Amino acid sequence: MSSRIPEPLKALVEQLARLPGLGPKSAMRAAMTLLKWPEAETRRLGRGIHDLRDKLHLCSRCGGLSAQEPCAVCADDSRTRDTLCLVTEWDSMLTLDEGGFYRGQYMILGGLLAPLEKMGTDSLDLDRLVRRLDEGEIQELILALGATIEAENTASYIHQMVRGRFPHIRVSRLAQGIPLGAEVKYMDKETLRQSLQYRQNLV
């Protein structure tokens, strides 16, 4: 970056450039836009970023982001307490819950096993999961981790772990398969393989 750029602007651009989807050029554009905003708007944005740190924390039950402890989902007594749905990230939980068809508990794993990126079992929040299962309420664990290779590996690791330590807990996973409206001939091999593997009986 040019040495003629004033230091405060340079510092901001360097920070912005670390955000996903922003390189140095678009970070500079974003910073220039902020400079054109009325001062009150810029300050409000700054306060918003501050508040993220000051007012949000991770729910001790599920690991989700919340302004209250426990979060609204964990505190909701109308939800069933014997089913736990494990998701990778907090936004997956939001998406699943928006559907309104799942009324059990959630837990956020915080990542997936990816040995090549040095994401081992210690980088996941497995302790929280074990503590929760240890409480004895959960009868079914639903793995909703996605269908990537990393998700498959992580699901299989957790499945083994639960089978060994909590043999009474049923472990299930989201069905994989052909999206609504799609045709078999256009499906990729992996989707077809999983659709066959997790095929359902017709009732």
Write out the residues near Zn ion by the rule CB under 5 A.
59, 61-62, 64, 70-71, 74
Q: Which two tokens stand for residue 128?
A: 């929280």
Give the nearest distance from C-beta 8 to Zn ion in angstroms. Answer: 38
Give the DSSP letter of residue 57: E
Q: Name 104's Cβ contacts closer than 8 Å, sequence gap at least 6.
A: 79, 80, 81, 82, 83, 84, 85, 142
Looking at the Cβ atoms of 92 and 113, the one nearer to Zn ion is: 92
CA–CA separation, 42 vs 57, rounded Å? 24
Residue closer to Zn ion by CB (options 30, 94) is: 94
For the bound state, the minimum distance from the C-beta of residue 115 to Zn ion, rounded and expressed in Å, comes to 29
Between CA 145 and CA 147 the distance in angstroms is 7
Query: C-beta of 63: minimal distance to Zn ion in Å?
Result: 7
Between CA 13 and CA 16 the distance in angstroms is: 5
Give the list of residues 6+ apart from residue 76 with CB closer than 8 angstroms, or none: none
Q: Which residue shows structure tokens 């939980």? A: 93
Q: Could you tell me the smallest distance in angstroms from the CB atom of residue 133 to Zn ion?
A: 16
Smallest gap, in angstroms, from Cβ of residue 190 to Zn ion? 33
Instruction: State the nearest-atom distance from the C-beta of 10 to Zn ion, in Å.
Output: 39
59 vs 158, which CB is nearer to Zn ion?
59
Our CB check for Zn ion shows the closer of 16 and 128 to be 128
Cβ contact 160:171 at 8 Å: no
Nearer to Zn ion, 59 or 162 (CB): 59
Cβ neighbours of residue 126 closer than 8 Å, sequence gap 6 or more = 109, 158, 161
50 is written with which tokens? 């501050």
Which of 29, 57 has the CB closer to Zn ion? 57
